[in-house]
Amino acid sequence: MLLELSSVTRRFGGLLAVVDLSMTIEPGSIHGLIGPNGAGKSTVFNLITGVVPLTAGEILFKRERISGLRPSEICRRGVARTFQATALFREYTVLQNVLIGAHLLAAPGLAPALFRSRSYRERERRARRRGRALLESLGLGAVANQVAAQLPHRDQKALALAMALATGAELVILDEPLAGLTAQERAKTIAVLRRLREQGTTVLLVEHDMKAVMGVCDTVTVLDHGVRIAEGTPREIQANPAVIEAYLGAEEPGA
Amino acid sequence: MGLRKAEAVSPAVGIALIALAAVALPLVTRDSYYLDVATTILMNLTLTMSFRLQVSTGQINMAHISFMGIGAYASALLVTRLGWSFWATLWIGALVAALLAVPIGSVALRVSGPYYFLITFAFSEVVRLFFNNFFEGLFGGPSGLVGIPKPGRLLGLTFDGKLALYWLMAVLCVVVVVALVRLDYSRFGLTAGAIRQADLVVETLGVNVFRFKLTTFVLGSFVAGLAGVFFAHYRQVLHSSDFGLEPMVLLVVFTVIGGTGSVWGPVVGTILMTIASELLRELHHYEILVFGAVLILTMLFAPEGLVALPGAARRLVRKVRGRASEPAGVGLAP
């Protein structure tokens, strides 16, 4: 397994946002995390990426403990994410945004930047190449030099994904990658997710579009009030009475 | 290749202009008053550039002037008490400032925004009161530390006249400007600006934001310390109030009026405001009132600083022209 949460708990004051959650993510899979609003999905993302510390439990990535590390260190180990409210560097161009994502590929620090050594320039060129290639593959090649704030919503979404991928992460965690997109744009993003899986990148996503989740995910975990109430293939989840009861009311998932 | 294409001035051109102006000035005038003003501009520029380096990550360090003071007092003491050479203490003073910046930055940078502002402000007051009230035999207390010698000889040259000291400061300043401009146009500057816009996102993309901010804090303090050492041996007397709230506010005003979004902002702000400060000298303490008014007007009409005005004007002209060429009554102007 690539990522393993064991007995993860997060308490905010008197509120238990995530309770004793255990789940595993298989390498090369697309794993969906679903649940009603307030179920604790975004908190799980924040816990995995180190943005919020755990109250109890531990998280392993490639069998190494990542809980307790800084977000930057967790990213360095190979976990990248996007945010629900698409977070970009709004004053920067699309290419500059993705170059920040390629930070780990570049030569950081003072001395290389001051003296512009050959290796600094070589690594920056490499970062730039990866950035450009990523932008092309996500349909952002034409807007590479546009300022991010001026992009339409769909391009901002795509850029956030490009930035996460630019880190070279093995696991990308996407918070509502389809929100606010038209049916056509959704289909495009879903195709991108499938392509990522083919290339060996593992995807964990939170999404409210049930049809998309059931269509694209290999495994789905269902959270309700911070508790895992089900996990399985989309087919199993759709047939699970607990899920139908607690999460979807009387409606059948995917209907 | 530079990462900051959006800048209007190429770094080489900007640096060349500053260096040229620094070299040209003594050719135009050797009047000691003008040399003094020019030296002050270069000293201030060193300070504002290093302050802007920290502001570029979105942090307003209200203790920046204190690190100038730490460098100044460190060098003054080493030279007057232990008889060390200025040419050694120039770097030692800056290093002392940088070394103290490590623990202080490590504490202050745990918080951000207004809390950071307050912590650094409190620290600057501690430093000022320390120089003023403690070890009076050493720091000179309220009457100041006096009798600091001029830099003296190096490589057969004597640095004691106004002109020689001007050249020394010019060299220091240009070296600092070259280094900080290079940084700004590199990945370092790109990352700093990204941290200012969305630090959590930068962190999740693999940059240790705390360490990055600490690096800018320590480097900025080193440069401030360097300026402080020069200041000590140029003025030859130090008072704790030289590193108090008022000069700190001026430092903020100089930097902000020029504009913190661009590495050239402090250059424009410092040159204009140092000259203005000379012209307003007769107002004494009321000078800061005028600066306050200028700051308010800048914030109202040019919030990105004077350096952003040409771009804003160009955009306005383009907009007006674009509107004029549009057929009347068709669509709305964007």
Q: What is the ipTM of this complex?
A: 0.91
Chain mean position to CA B165: 19
- Per-residue pLDDT reduced to its tens digit, B183-231: 999 999 999 999 999 999 999 999 999 999 999 999 999 999 999 999 9
Cβ pair A72:B5 closer than 8 A: no
Residue of chain A whose Cα is closest to the Cα of B216: A110
Measure the CA–CA gap between B164 and A66, rounded to whole angstroms: 57
> Distance, in angstroms, between A251 CA and closest chain B CA?
37
Residue B260 structure tokens: 């913190």
Cβ of residue B191 closer than 8 Å to a chain A Cβ: yes
What percentage of chain A has pLDDT greater than the value 90?
73
Q: What is the pLDDT of residue B2?
A: 44
Place of tokens 């030692």: B92
Cβ pair A116:B186 closer than 8 A: yes
Q: What is the pLDDT of residue B4?
A: 55
Domain-wise residue ranges, chain A: 25-52+68-78+170-255, 88-168
What percentage of chain B has pLDDT greater than the value 70?
93
Assign B326 a pLDDT band (cuts: 50, 70, 90): very low
- Per-residue pLDDT reduced to its tens digit, A78-106: 999 999 877 899 999 999 999 999 988 78
Of the listed ranges A27-41, A135-149, A160-174, B313-327, the least confidently predicted one is B313-327
Query: How far is residue B48 from each of residues A8, A125, B63, B270, measured CA to CA in Å?
Result: 48, 32, 13, 7
Among B183, B162, B172, which Cα is nearest to B93's?
Answer: B172
DSSP secondary-structure letter at B217? H
Half-sphere exposure of A8 toward its Cβ, with a 13 Å CA cutoff?
32
| B194 vs A92, A114, A116: nearest CB | A92
Please give the backbone phi and psi of residue B110, each rounded to the nearest 5 degrees, phi first.
-70, -25
Which residues of chain B are within 8 Å of residue A71 when distances are taken between CB atoms?
Answer: 200, 203-204
Measure the CA–CA gap between B3 and A7, rounded to whole angstroms: 44
> Which amino acid, one-letter code, is at B254?
F
- Per-residue pLDDT reduced to its tens digit, B74-120: 999 999 999 899 999 999 999 999 999 999 999 999 998 889 999 99
Residue of chain B whose Cα is closest to the Cα of A146: B6
What average pLDDT does range A108-120 have in this prediction? 80
Say which CATH architecture domain A25-52+68-78+170-255 belongs to.
3-Layer(aba) Sandwich (3.40)
CATH number of B11-325: 1.10.3470
- Per-residue pLDDT reduced to its tens digit, B18-61: 888 888 888 888 888 889 999 999 999 999 999 999 999 998 99
Measure the CA–CA gap between A108 and B187, rounded to whole angstroms: 7
